[in-house]
Structure 1
Amino acid sequence: AQYFSSPTESHYVDILSFLFIIEEINKDPDLLPNVTLGYHVYDSCGDPSLAIGSVLQILSGPGEPVPNYSCGDQGEIAGFIGDVSPVTSLPIAQLLSVYGYSQISYGATNPALSDRTLYPYYVSTGLNDHVQHVAIAELVEHLGWTWVIILVDDDDYEQSKNLRTEITKHNACVDFIAALTGDINTNRRTLEHIKQSTAEVIIFCGRLHQYLRKVRFTEASGREIDFSNLINSPVKFQIFSWYCYLTFEIRQVYVGEYVWSGSERSLEIQIEKIFWKKNTNNQTLKSQCSANCPPGSRKVPRKTAPPCCYDCISCSEGEISNLTDMENCLKCQDYEWPNQEKTMCIEKQTEFLSYQDDPLTLAFIVLSVVFILITTVILGIFISFRDTPVVKANNRNLSFILLVSIKLSVLSVFLFLGRPMDITCMLRQTSFGITFSIAMSSVLSKTIMVCMAFKASKPDSPWRKYVSAKVAYWIVFVCSVIQILISVIWLASSPPFVEHNIHSEPGKILILCNEGSVVAFYIVLSYMGLLASVSFIVAFLARSLPDSFNEAKYITFSMLLFCSVWITMIPAYLSTKGKYMVAVEIFAIISSSCGLLFCIFLPKCYIILFKPEMNTKQYLLGSSK
């Protein structure tokens, strides 16, 4: 036998256990009848070359070992038991697979040795390293550690790579693998490297089976042990927390256990019993390369860094993350939008000129009602003083038509307010277009009749036959019917409809009216602009007529205001969205209607109410001379 000069206590216990079990087997005649077991004990000292030499010595017999020759004369070799380390067990298994001798390892569980094709005579009673790696990885995951260091013996580096692979599968990363060697300077540099790391957890991946395994040599129940399946037998690890006091007393406290049985596994741990190396305020010690990305953000990997080292950025517009450390944010559905924290999708706000809690709608309602009241009052004044010269001067019936059409135009504003519906979408543009075209037609008719009346005042003028109320009414009728036909064709071919615009403004659903045919919409506006332009030109040419017919001057101003408002409105209308686009059109309707009402009718109301002496036929005839 060969031994270390100063053998460790654990090795000595292994030898005594081996001698005891051999003696027990030889005493029992039922186990191996007519067979007596003998043994040779060698110490490999963890050296592969020494381990191979010991095996060859046993195969060759006493004296100098000779490969392929056996000089022994006492009994047959039944098999080999050993080694505890995969570093020495692997070359032994490679050699014995050639000679066909069985090998039973009581510790080594290198996954490579499980290959029955390469090592058909090798079995192990040791704990499965894979199970240990899974247990450690699941413990690391359970405690929320994502950034650890693996510290190994110099001859267990291969096992440490397998452990790192398993830890990586459980969403954690290894900063580096450090090996403890026999060189004190190398070990000192390793410890300095560990101090510089941001990892708070070090995993010792040495020969854990030396401390965890429990070998049972006999079974009182008589259960037959199948070595080929022993590696898959249920395993139970106990988890202890070790404390080192100032008196150098070391104490271990049971904190949990890990049970593995085939596909089933369970981890139970009492975290409150664990004593951490630093004050954590009764919380689990954190060991992370990067802080957790809270809900509302996502992880962005750093270049050339492990997956556990990352930056956190807020989710993009329209996306959320409702869990910690999400790698990708979730996109909200079309009718949803993230809340302010970007942790959940909520229903998008709808936007339109609502009758509830919208100051813009309230302002338009107030303006419209006031304007309608003013128009009604002026209409009442004109009806009351319908037989006075000022009212009769320029065809009072046209004035009544103009006032009513202006009032209807302002009333059409209410079709633009509230939640759009298909019927309101179809009516609002067409109703405004028709009523305002009637107003423009009335203005145009008034302007033309002013010019015709002045020309007919000359002796033997051919214009006299055209100066009649019928001509004025025909002008209004024809000009209005054209707009009505345009509107009917528009509604019949491509009517406006309600549209839910979910893309124009983030977080909002713009409920608006799609005009159906943009061409028809601009034809309606263009026709009103044509009537206003003709009225402006005719009124401008007639502005120098005698004072009794000076309504042309006021029409000029009103048409100038109308054209200015609508020319300004078009670019503003095209550059806005949602309810503000509707608000621009409403403002244009109210402004242009105010221009007509105030420029044409306020001067007359002033004369009727405050200058009655001017509201006489003699004054009008006198001022016309």
Structure 2
Amino acid sequence: MVSQGQSAKCTTNHPVHVPHEWYEPGDLVIGAMASHIYYIVRKVSFKKHPSQDFIDAPLVLTKFYQQILALVFAVDEINENPRMLPNVSLGFHIYDSYYDSKMTYRNTLDLLFKSHHFVPNYRCGIQKNVIGVIGGLSSDTSWCMANVLGPFKIPQISYGSFEPAINYGTKFPSFYRMVPNEDLQYQGIIQLLLHFRWKWVGLITPANEAGERFLQNIEPMLFKNGICSAFTERLKFNMNYNSNKLEMLEDSRILLPAFKTSRANAVLVYGESRFSIWLSAALITMELSQLLFPQKKSREGKVWITTTQIDFILYSLQKKINVNIRMFHGAISFAIHSKEIQNFKDFLRSIRPQWTDTDRFIQDFWEDAFSCSLSNSTVSPTMCTGEEMLESLPAPYFEMSMTGPSYNIYNAVYALAHALNSMHLAGAIRNRRDAKGKLFSRYADPWQLHSFLQRISFNNIAGDEITLNEYGELAAGFDITNLVTFPNNSYVRVKVGSLDPHAPAGKELTINEDRIKWHKRFTKKKQGDNKEKRDVTHVEISRIDTRFIFDTPSTKAFGLEAYMETCVSCPADQYPNNSQDLCIPKIPNFLAFDETLAIVSASFVLLFSLITIMVLSIFIKHRNTAIVKANNRSLTYGLLISLLLCFLSSLLFIGKPNMVTCLLRQTAFGIVFSVALSSILAKTILVVLAFMATKPGSNMRKWVGKELAYSIVFSCSIVQVGICVLWLATSPPFPDVDMHSMPEEIIFLCNEGSVSMFYCVLGYMGFLATISFTVAFLARKLPDTFNEAKFITFSMLVFCSVWLSFIPTYLSTRGKYMVAVEIFSILASGAGLLACIFTPKCYIIVVRPDLNNREQLTQRKV
């Protein structure tokens, strides 16, 4: 046998094709196991060979494609960051578990050994240096992966498994979890029940090992806190095809007696995402039974409580079966904590089917999500254009906001990267050479990563601290969300609380009851109101989600037409009135010329421009006087002209944005301000050099002159010009509208295109201002003959103060007030430069001409 580290010739007579994978090479490769495709097994009829009729078309869980993209986004971000893993490239190889243990084992082996063919314990073809593996979403998938990865001591970071860490840690010390300890969730469930005084609770779990473990943990805690278990149901999850029909309701009627007649206030559901599919189908059967047998007693007023492991993926089943998610309206769910990651939404907006040839997931996702075909297949008679936008999909089908599992994957990639970075600094990543001794990649042993992962601690870009505890679990809490459903079977999750492990004992849970939208029957019972509340859904739709047009779904198969409501949301450019029965057009929001704020701003622009022209005229008229000559006439004229252009550039921010003004706004003010700051820097440097040149035997005399001043202004300004040209060439600003930030207004704005380039322009201005201030401050006590440094010092203090306060104020405002903040900053900083530098000179020239001579200047001291 050839050992793992050796090469061998590997062949197989029947290669197994894996249709869903994504491989990008790198020096070090991160493996991953996604849960995106679910194959539903057909019932074997024994009329033909099973291989001819084994599986149906895959069920694509479209919302889980974001988890794959989160990993790709994180790897790209790290590769573009020069401070992370310098001279080392990260690659990735993503497979799908297909929610099947056999395929999980097979694809995990594929990650380690080769692509498309595998022979255990051999490395064949191109050697991938798999440094760590991320996955899986469920405990079953994580367990199968750990069985393969554990013996090789390859780090595995699960992003959704809540299998007890001690269990994994004993058998697989290389296993880590980017999720908190499940015991915290048990405490949160108890505190939630006590908070709402729900003393009766029903328990529904899958009939498997995970369900039994959940019951063993939660039932003693319920008893200890005086909460009674009204019923406990262990349900088998069976779903398969038979005669082209999806069978999943065979045993669902066992729920009917317990659920419909129980006195439980809340029903606690434990399980994973697929379990919610089965449960919803069981509840549909219950609704039908209630219609057929109305004599059965039904207790209303129950609320669903779901654990973190459950994600409502029912929307993906609409093409297979009719599933009504509205029965879960008002559910309270424990959810994985997540935050928005900067630039992630922009990354999602850039996704197109043709964006890469290596993504084998995207075709099935795209065709299922947009109900079209990318090839001449029979998926849909409608051909995809390839220009469809993920942003246009309903949130339950694909979310633009980063979900909890995606957030965990993002943090898992960065955890591996930070650990690798520490290895790199410690010299544990070494060069790998070919047979001729030529360097062709970097190499690291995965087992060495554990000592760095075990003490990993960093803050991600969203500000969350990512730390693993002694058991390899994420030291964090949970979010509490409320499920709000709509008539077209879509939904949104609204955050209504949190579960903080660092809070005092018994105070871990916080709940904002005002944000919760209860099921109307549950609300009716709580408020003691016997009247039908048929308008509840109208209020929820208009208040919470106005992105989609909702039509009443067909419910004839279930006989539930009488219980449905027809609700239509307002278009994006309209908003509902207070009565929720009329859509009103939103008001345009931009800084128009006829508004008071614009008139005041334009008046100040005119005033400061006239003052600047007046000062320039004074200096030109008295150009041969001592004080004008002493302060370099050419630089003074250039500074005044650039300040004049600064004031005038603020007029570009007034009026409705168009392509020309959007292109010129930031670039024009950035360039003219850079010229002004470059002139000030040149004046300051010349002051220092002039003083040094007066010392006997100094060689500085040859440096003092107009050539040096012009060189400083040109070289400093051309850098800003280059930044602006690069900005306009790569991702230029453009006119845009924002319909969601303000509920009753449409914001017309200039989209910066690249926010990074905008802050590069501001950052470079700040750099020039800092250099000018530093030099001027050091030279402020030189004799007055050559010195205007003390005035420049004050002007730079004003300038820096204005722009340091600008950034937080700019980010905290919206619409025309954001534009007004930038206009104010331009005018205030320009006026500060004009006043601090030129007021003392104009005073001497105009008011005290007797001091404007060489003898008076040489006698004065600072």
- Highest CA radius of gyration, 1 or 2? 1
Structure scoring higher RCO (CA < 8 A, sep ≥ 6) equals: 2
Structure with more of its chain in helix, by fraction: 1
